[in-house]
Chain A
Amino acid sequence: MKLRIMFILTLILTLLAAPIWAKNIRQDLVRAGTLEQVMSKNKLRIGFSTFVPWAMKDKKGGYTGYEIEVARQLANDMGVEPVFIPTKWSGIIPALLTGKFDIIIGGMGITPARNLKVNFSKPYEFSGMSIVANSKIAAGKVNLNDFNHEEVTIVARIGTTAASAAKKYLPKAKLRLFDDEGQALQEVLNKRAAAMISSQPFPEFQTLKYATKLFLPLAGKTFTKEPIGFAIQKGDADFLNFLNNWVLVKQSDGWLQERYDFWFTTQDWKSQVQ
């Protein structure tokens, strides 16, 4: 009898305490969120991979690029110090998921497959895929269908949306993937591949550099449009809300567009790198 009363009393008290628990859970959630962690450590750890001109090493051993500027501004607006963690593109999502850094600011295109693993903010820029081809072996090919043949070899950087765009738009062509863009382009220059797929403005810049050897089959037009967002760990609504509104604010005051124009339509930044 005594035992049963004790049991019922415990149950009632537990139920009464439930709202208090719920409140604690919310506080715990906020405390465990990335935003609070970043603010208390006073450091925003940013994962990125080298992609010209999104993010790259400069001559002085630091980092520079469009994404780097965006990341610096974001950290600045949060009042914390940015810590840049260069990471190989192929391992960047696992590194985010295992907490090696707080956020990926690395020109990561939002795709449903990636979104199953990470959360994306609203896009802060759009990029598009373009194609650059060898003037000798791809002569006369002027639209995308011309490249969609079995004997055509296409190259792209591994794990990028360029690689998936190649698979989607040129399913018949042979696709070969490389760890970085320099190697992929070298295959095109050496006539071992007909063309390379990459985000703008890489094809344009390379065609300017190797004017006699490369050309732009689509006259410099992109054939996809991809939203680029910040990637963070799942289950963190506070940080996501902050990022979304940061993008909104920076879009409204024109800062994002202005920096985008500087990095993607001019080459004034070249002297910082070489």
Chain B
Amino acid sequence: MLPQQPSRWGRLDIILLSLLFVAIGYLGYRINAGLEYRWNWQVIPQYLVRHDPEAGCVPNLLLQGLLTTIRLSFWSLLLALPFGLLAGLLRTSLHLFNRLVGGTYVTLLRNLPPLVLIFIFYFFISDQILPLLNIGERISAAPEWLQHVLALSLAPVDQLEAFLAAVMTLALFEGAYIGEIVRAGINNIESGQWEAGRALGMRRWQLLRYIVLPQAFQRMIPPLTGQAISTIKDSAIVSVISIQELTFQGMELMAATYLTFEVWISVTVLYFLLTYSCSWLAGRLELRLRRIYTH
């Protein structure tokens, strides 16, 4: 535990804070004076929520985009966790072959720009895999309620294939980073733990299952939550393959209304609200876990 010191306002704090405000004010003034731009904030709220005569208030473009971003990040992360666990286990395996397989996956994915990966995956790989499964056809033939559930949890039926391709790419990409977190977590466990387990006659997988992984998970929680927030930010990249998430909807709106700055600022605020609330939740989770494990 860190020693808790009561925070007090000093003279220096006030000076620094006022200097900061002056700097922000000056920047705002410069932007206003130097930028030939006609601000039009009144129209933004209607792109968040719109009033429908039948259904009442329904989310419009930007909020729909935010929901898609949340769904996209959620499913990508869910899929990335097993990928990462597998990669981490392979990387710490005793067999050279397994280590090479895991190493190839992690090195390849971590050293390629995600933008390039997304393009390659969307235009080539998903094009070969998804039509084989014939997802689009099957879903159109599925009963109404199932389509409705899918539309709520994943994406509307006509966007499902592209959405799945995006989820898979993001999951593969984030999986490589999670793999490194898992590897670090496993390597972080003291060798005494391994030796004690071995002395009890445990096999390797038993050791991992009952001794190493439970302890490693506890240590992996902080970097994993960081990676989860990173996933939300990385999801903006799939706007290039026309997934209708927040960035894409923002860009469509800009192209339609030319309200470049209003839309970018709104999109930024929405992203910040999402990631900040996630970090806050992650902080709470960490605190709670620490309490559980220390008691």
Residues of A within 8 A of B244 (CB): 86
Whether the pair B255, A182 counts as a contact (CB closer than 8 A) is yes
Tell whether B260 is near chain A: CB-to-CB under 8 Å.
yes
Residue in contact with A210 in the complex, picked from B38, B60, B259, CB distance below 8 Å: B38
Which one of B1-9, B68-76, B217-225, B246-254 contacts A?
Answer: B246-254
Q: Which residue of A lies closest to B159 (CB)?
A: A85
Nearest CB on B from A107, distance (A):
13
A213→B36 contact, CB < 8 A:
yes
Q: Which residues of B contact A61 (CB under 8 A)?
A: 50, 60-61, 64
Say yes or no: is B192 at the interface (Cβ < 8 Å to chain A): no
B260 touches A182 (CB 8 A): yes
CB-based nearest B residue for A190: B36
Taking A94-B123, A182-B260, A213-B36 as contacts, is the C-beta distance between A86 and B242 under 8 angstroms? yes
Tell me how many residue pairs across A and B have CB atoms closer than 8 Å. 84
A45, A179, A185: the one within 8 Å of B251 (CB): A179
Q: Determine whether A118 belongs to the interface, using a CB cutoff of 8 Å to chain B.
A: no
Q: Does A60 contact B (CB under 8 A)?
A: yes
Query: What's the minimum C-beta distance from A150 to chain B, rounded to whole angstroms?
Result: 25
Question: Within 8 Å CB of B159, what residues of A?
Answer: 85
Tell me which residues from 150 to 205 in chain B have a Cβ below 8 Å from any Cβ of chain A. 158-159, 162
Nearest B residue (CB) for A60: B50
- Chain A to chain B contacts (Cβ below 8 Å), 6 pairs: A49-B255, A52-B256, A56-B256, A182-B257, A190-B34, A274-B43
Q: With a CB–CB cut-off of 8 A, which chain B residues contact A51?
A: 255
As a 0/1 sequence over residues 171 to 196 of chain A, the CB contacts with chain B under 8 angstroms (1 = contact) are 00000000111110110011100000
Shortest 10 CB-CB distances between A and B: which pairs? A56-B256, A50-B255, A182-B258, A189-B36, A180-B255, A182-B260, A87-B242, A57-B256, A98-B127, A182-B254
B interface footprint on A87-103 (CB within 8 Å = 1, 0 otherwise): 11001001100111000
Residue numbers in A under 8 Å from B251 (CB-CB): 88, 179-180
B241 an interface residue at 8 Å Cβ cutoff? yes
**Most B Cβ at <10 Å: residue of A94, A100, A191:** A100
Q: A180-B254, A182-B254 are in contact. Are A91 and B37 (CB under 8 A)?
A: no
Does chain B have a CB within 8 A of A74?
Answer: no
Min Cβ gap B236→A in Å is 13
Q: Does A78 make an interface contact (CB < 8 A)? A: no
Residue of B nearest to A52 (CB): B256
Residues from chain A with a CB closer than 8 A to the CB of B258 are 52, 181-182, 185
Is A59 touching B252 in the complex (CB atoms < 8 A)? Answer: no
Q: How far is the CA of A57 from the CA of B239 in the complex (A)?
A: 16
B46 within 8 A of A: yes
A218 within 8 A of partner (CB): no
Contacts of A94 in B (CB 8 A): 123
Q: Is A273 an interface residue (CB 8 A)?
A: yes
Contact of A88 among B50, B123, B240 (CB under 8 A): B240
From B131, B140, B248, B259, A182 is in contact (CB under 8 Å) with B259
Q: Is B112 an interface residue (CB 8 A)?
A: no
Q: A165 interface residue, CB < 8 Å from B?
A: no
CB distance from B118 to the nearest CB of A (A): 10
A85 to chain B, nearest CB (A): 7
**Which B residues touch A189, using CB under 8 A?**
36-37
Q: Which residues of B contact A56 (CB under 8 A)?
A: 255-256
Cβ A95 vs Cβ B242 within 8 A:
yes
Cβ–Cβ < 8 Å partners of A52 in chain B: 255-256, 258
CB proximity to B under 8 Å, residues A27-41: 41
List of A residues within 8 angstroms of B36 by Cβ: 189-191, 210, 213
